[in-house]
Structure 1
Amino acid sequence: MAGIVATTVPPEVQEAEAQAAAPHAHAVSRDGQSADGFRFFTPQEAAIVVALVDTLIPKDDVGPGGVEVGVPIFIDRELAGAYGRGARMYLDGPFGQGTPQQGYQLPLPPADLYRIGIADLNAWCVETRGGKTFDELSPADRTTALKAIEAGQAEFAQVPARNFFSVLLQNTMEGYFADPMYGGNRNSAVWKMIGFPGAIGMYREVIEKYRNKRYDVEPKSIQDLS
């Protein structure tokens, strides 16, 4: 797993889940600022994604959680765009059972994988976790469920469970560390945590000045350079 799961659900996650699940409040509020509406996920799907991201990267003493820095919004934006449509993926057959080294081997673009995978995840949880959907589970039970999926111990009805988990984990990490202009890493909080200067790290004119020295500056997004 990408982090240690909290024993209680943080207030910002409770708020995000409630808003994602509400039929007329299809947005996630972040730190009291203007809400980011979901473009791809339905309210029910958004609630699941919020719970998934919070389980993979919960807030702890080291740094911010995935929900509070907007990772669900990052994933939503990606799926609503070219990535979600599989614009740069080979999606023509034939399709066979590939090896782990061969990577993604499904005929589904990411948007379809998420939509079907979330439905499969909920159905599996209802069947094996006392009739509860994933977002209704306790934080500890969510972790147990994801560990079973990651280990190949879960059988989804329509898509391979481990494929769904692998893409979810990859996208979650991408959103956590991405340039804030894409929806995640809000306020460059994750870059500040790891000491990464952001886009200005590419400026060659400061290489010699800071060679073998700490480059301690406020991180800059691509948008800050325009």
Structure 2
Amino acid sequence: MNRREALFSLGTIAASLAVAPSLSAAELKGVPHETQLSDDHMPKPAVRTGGFLVLTVLERKTLGAVYDRLLPADEYGPSATQAGCLEFIDSQLAGDYGSGKALYLEGPISPENEMKLMGTPQFLATPLVRYRVGLTALQRYAEKNFGKAFVELTNEQIDTLLTQLEAGTISLGSDIDSKGFFELLLQNVREGYLSDPVYGGNRDMAGWKMIGFPGARYDYRPYIDRRGENLSLIPVSLIPAD
């Protein structure tokens, strides 16, 4: 497993912007006030209570071991846990994302039809429940097959297990889609590493600095015609400045 493979596609997208055709900026005027974003569409900062909201100590240890193999520390940046990905996902699982507010969670379930129409399996469990069940299953699998806790496995053993999860060749139980669980973990660790720090992850904007993303700047018009140039812009977060 490539140490930065989880972020490669996103880095490629960012790099492609340097060779895009030149564009000219235009100012939009006369926008009616009715188009303003309402409060429920504004970014909601991560809940900051000084502790974790839903993940237990064991769940954090197991998930941290997984996340840090998907995005380990190297010369390009910190590991997933060092960048705050656990805090990010804990906050998300404690809110609407964890409860599946935006998901259709009613039956009937038809796996074959869902794969044919959507290309992905259908899950009736909420993301929080999927995390709880999946992390418990990983712990149980490690104890049964290696005789020790998941966090005590070597990096090589965890990598092998994750590779099997990704391929769907390992069974964590009849109620768990192994491949789907891996994809959930990978999606969320990417989000935690590259989302705005206001959501709890991407600590010190390490993910943005790694891929050269300048962040949530108000106005890019001074730079839009400067293609193929290293602008050396310091990333800016949605977190209000002191």
| TM-score normalised by length of structure 1 | 0.79
Within-5 A mapping of 1:73-222: 73-97=87-111, 98-99=114-115, 101-128=118-145, 130-157=146-173, 158-200=175-217, 203-208=219-224, 210-222=226-238
Partner of 2:81: 67
CA contact 1:152–1:162 (8 Å) conserved in 2? yes
Q: % of aligned pairs identical?
A: 36
CA contact 1:191–1:198 (8 Å) conserved in 2? yes
CA contact 1:45–1:118 (8 Å) conserved in 2? yes
- Aligned equivalents of 2:75 and 2:209: distance in 1? 14
Structure 1 residues 96, 2: closer, same or farther in 2, change over 3 A?
farther
- 1:102-133 deviation line (CA, Å, top 9, x unaligned): 324010010000001111111122222x2223
CA contact 2:192–2:200 (8 Å) conserved in 1? yes
What is the CA distance between 1:47 and its match in structure 2? Answer: 0.7
Structure 1 residues 2, 96: closer, same or farther in 2, change over 3 A?
farther
Could you say what the CA RMSD is over the residues aligned between the two structures, in angstroms?
Answer: 2.4
Deviates more, 1:96-105 or 1:50-59: 96-105
Partner amino acid, structure 1, of 2:149: T
* Alignment: residue pair count: 196
- Aligned equivalents of 1:204 and 1:40: distance in 2? 38
Partner amino acid, structure 2, of 1:75: I
- Aligned equivalents of 1:47 and 1:174: distance in 2? 19
Structure 2: runs of 5 or more not aligned = 5-47
What is the CA distance between 1:3 and its match in structure 2? Answer: 1.5
Partner amino acid, structure 1, of 2:190: M
- Aligned equivalents of 2:77 and 2:231: distance in 1? 20
- Aligned equivalents of 1:191 and 1:90: distance in 2? 32
Structure 1 residues 43, 88: closer, same or farther in 2, change over 3 A?
same
CA contact 2:70–2:186 (8 Å) conserved in 1? yes
What is the CA distance between 1:35 and its match in structure 2? Answer: 9.9
CA contact 2:115–2:121 (8 Å) conserved in 1? no
- 1:137-190 deviation line (CA, Å, top 9, x unaligned): 111111111111111121112311111111011000111111011111101111
Deviates more, 1:167-176 or 1:211-220: 211-220
- Aligned equivalents of 2:188 and 2:125: distance in 1? 16
Structure 1: runs of 5 or more not aligned = 5-33
- 1:58-116 deviation line (CA, Å, top 9, x unaligned): 00122221111111111111101100000100111111214285324010010000001
Partner amino acid, structure 2, of 1:110: P
SS at match of 1:199: coil
- Aligned equivalents of 1:140 and 1:35: distance in 2? 35
| TM-score normalised by length of structure 2 | 0.74
Q: Who wins on radius of gyration, i.e. which is larger?
A: 2
Structure 1 residues 181, 89: closer, same or farther in 2, change over 3 A?
same
SS at match of 2:58: helix
CA contact 1:83–1:110 (8 Å) conserved in 2? yes
Equivalent residue for 1:47, pick from 39, 61, 68: 61
